Structure 1
Amino acid sequence: MGYAVLHLEKTSGTDSAMSAHIERTIAPKNADPERTHLNRELIKFPDAVRNRTEAIQHRLENAGLQRKIGKNQVRAIRILLSGSPEEMQRIEADGKLNEWCDDNLRWLGETYGKENIVSAVLHLDESTPHIHATLVPIVTTERRKKKSEEQVKKQYRKKNPNAPRLSVDDVMTRIKLKEYQDTYAEAMAKFGLQRGIDGSEARHVSTSQYYRELFAKNEDLKENIEELLQQQENNKKELSKVKSEVSKEKFKNAKAEMGANLMVGVNSLFSGSKVKQQQAEIEELQLENTALKDENHSLKTELQTAQKEYEKITDKLRTELRRIYDLFPNLRELLSIERMCRLVGFSDDLIKRILTGDKVGFKGSLYSAEYKRKFSTEHSVAQMQQEPKQPDKLRLTIDGVDIIEWFRMKYREFQRSVGIDWTEKSVGRGRKI
């Protein structure tokens, strides 16, 4: 089992920098721009509220607060909800991501009050799916007294203890933080996510700290690359120097060898046995050379024979294949349907039934190479049919429509499920989404 990830962090000021990160008005380096359109806001904003910053202010203005908000008072809490990367990717692949989002929103509402959760954005353009929720810490319990206040004997008129207050300290006590981890793990257990080790020294890294560390690592890498390039240049110079020295040494050795051979030649003039020995060696080498030439010629002949035999067999197979296609005109189409069935993920048993022309009911997932993803169905019918306008052509249909059109319908359903409306026109580009 993987681990459930829950992290709370206080904000400062309007928290505009984090809003830019969450709403992708500024694209972070670790996000895939081709998947950013999959991100979505899970909470509907009130009328006239356009973004996270306005949602925070709207809640503060409509909470019925009696005290003035201090300049340095924490107005919102960031909540990160996720899980171990492998488990979150499995949840997404199994089609349970929407259910996971619903359970997260339910837990947030039950734990902090539904009206206090003003934003919850699902990010799917980073390596691990996760939710950025925003909590305005409005509480209605009686304010905890400071020790200095408890010692004061003078009595003042008590205010309503149940009046709404903005208090991050009441929300983020040590005991409550531990309770949040426990209850969140219980809510996520159905997805195979468990609580982290209680008391572990592992700590969450904030977004700003992550980017600072990432920048530092990049700088270190640049320095290491520069050092390696300099070392490479030094190695090239050293290698060139060594090659030069080796060449000089070879030249010296060659001169010495030539001198020695010259002496042997001079001595051989006075030694008839040496001349005879060298002549015998030359004749032996000539015989070996002749044998190698004969062997080479024999190999070439064998190769040419094998090549002709291969071409003969290939021509015969082509002729037989053309004859088969002439006798069975639908064979090409059947093979095409078989390849398509195998590509989208049908089993061998289902493929055999489809190729007989039967209507084959099935459930599960089919893979679309066009959209590079799987689409699920609880019950569909696959059938091989003739093309309406070309009776000699065959096509694979799902639920009565061509499989390509079926995939397009499924993709549109998927886009609508993540908040993309096909009827909505893209502003500034002049085309439909």
Structure 2
Amino acid sequence: MSNEPKGAMHFEGRKSIGAMEAAENQRRWDEKHYQTVNKKPLHWYDITRAHLNFEVAKGGIIQKMGTSKPVEERFKERLEELGVKPNPEVKKNDPAAAKMSNQIVEFVFSGDHEVMNMMAFGNQAVDFERDGTADNSHIQRMNEIEQWAIDLYDWMAKKYGEENIIGFDVHLDETTAHCHATIIPVVMRTEKKTGRERPVVSYKGL
């Protein structure tokens, strides 16, 4: 078996995106919220590394996490531009969800733990303890993780249209560095009567 580092991409279609999920992606959390989510099993969010999180904005610009307009607002605005009514926010097990088409595609990009964190932190000694005692406020973000994110953003912009990227958030406050990219699935469709092409929201088409 090869020991070469591997990249990872996961994606899934979703009916909508709500304020709670968008706030997590953009880390629109205060200290109290960090403490609350850290009481849940499996996940750990290190508030002393929150300053390292960042987003990629239009034009491939690196900026502070949460600087852009809330994702749930950008979702509604882009659909309005396309002349599409947004799905209401529903739970996955809600029978109403089965009748709705997917209007969101959520991507998560990451890779081997050691490689991703080397790009993010370099040789700095990061304390990954999950008991609330870690103090990583002095850690600085490396340029390599920013370039990785920009390369991903450029690829997605070319493939799916930059205007359809409504969120591009890189998290360095969890166990392994990763990126959440949220897009609206838009494809060009030819009208049978006129022969004219127009953009439509279609997860299946994408």
TM-score strictly above 0.5: yes
Q: Of 17, 32, 39, which residue of structure 1 is paired with 2:46?
A: 32
CA deviations 1:246-292 (Å, max 9, x no partner) are: xxxxxxxxxxxxxxxxxxxxxxxxxxxxxxxxxxxxxxxxxxxxxxx
Equivalent position of 2:20 in the other structure: 17
1:51 aligns with 2:61: no
Equivalent position of 1:89 in the other structure: 117
SS at match of 2:169: strand
Residues 114, 34 of structure 1: alpha-carbon distance in 2 compared, 3 angstrom cutoff: same
Residues 159, 8 of structure 1: alpha-carbon distance in 2 compared, 3 angstrom cutoff: farther
Residues 123, 9 of structure 1: alpha-carbon distance in 2 compared, 3 angstrom cutoff: same
Offset of residue 141 of structure 1 = 3.2
What number of residue pairs does the alignment pair up? 153
**What's the % identity of the aligned pairs?**
27
Equivalence map 1:132-147=2 (5 Å): 132-142=180-190
Equivalence map 1:416-427=2 (5 Å): none
Offset of residue 161 of structure 1 = 4.8
1:42 aligns with 2:42: no
Note if contact 2:113-2:176 (Cα within 8 Å) is conserved in structure 1: yes
Equivalent position of 1:75 in the other structure: 103
Equivalent position of 1:104 in the other structure: 152
Residues 161, 82 of structure 1: alpha-carbon distance in 2 compared, 3 angstrom cutoff: farther
Could you list the runs of 5+ residues in structure 2 that have no partner in the other structure? 39-43, 60-67, 89-99, 124-141
More relative contact order, 1 or 2 (CA 8 Å, 6+ apart): 2
TM-score by length of 2: 0.65
SS at match of 1:125: coil
Note if contact 2:16-2:86 (Cα within 8 Å) is conserved in structure 1: no
Offset of residue 166 of structure 1 = 0.6
1:60 aligns with 2:63: no
Note if contact 1:140-1:161 (Cα within 8 Å) is conserved in structure 2: no
- Name whichever structure is richer in strand by fraction: 2
Offset of residue 87 of structure 1 = 1.1
Partner Cα distance (1:10, 1:50) in 2: 22
Offset of residue 13 of structure 1 = 3.1
SS at match of 1:54: helix
Offset of residue 10 of structure 1 = 1.5
Offset of residue 70 of structure 1 = 6.2
> Which 4+ residue blocks in structure 1 deviate beyond 4 angstroms?
67-71
Offset of residue 142 of structure 1 = 3.9
Note if contact 1:138-1:166 (Cα within 8 Å) is conserved in structure 2: yes
Residues 112, 90 of structure 1: alpha-carbon distance in 2 compared, 3 angstrom cutoff: same
Residues 126, 4 of structure 1: alpha-carbon distance in 2 compared, 3 angstrom cutoff: same
Q: Of 155, 159, 172, which residue of structure 2 is paired with 1:124?
A: 172
Residues 82, 161 of structure 1: alpha-carbon distance in 2 compared, 3 angstrom cutoff: farther
CA deviations 1:48-105 (Å, max 9, x no partner) are: x721111111111123x3x656662322111111111111012221741121111111
Offset of residue 37 of structure 1 = 2.1
Equivalent position of 1:200 in the other structure: none
1:163 aligns with 2:193: no
- Name whichever structure is richer in helix by fraction: 1
Equivalence map 1:213-292=2 (5 Å): none
Partner Cα distance (2:54, 2:179) in 1: 10
TM-score by length of 1: 0.33
Offset of residue 19 of structure 1 = 1.1
Q: Aligned-residue CA RMSD in angstroms?
A: 2.5
Offset of residue 8 of structure 1 = 0.9
Offset of residue 159 of structure 1 = 4.8
Specify the code of the residue in structure 1 equivalent to 2:175. Answer: S
Equivalent position of 1:232 in the other structure: none
CA deviations 1:144-170 (Å, max 9, x no partner) are: xxxxxxxxxxxxx62555111010111
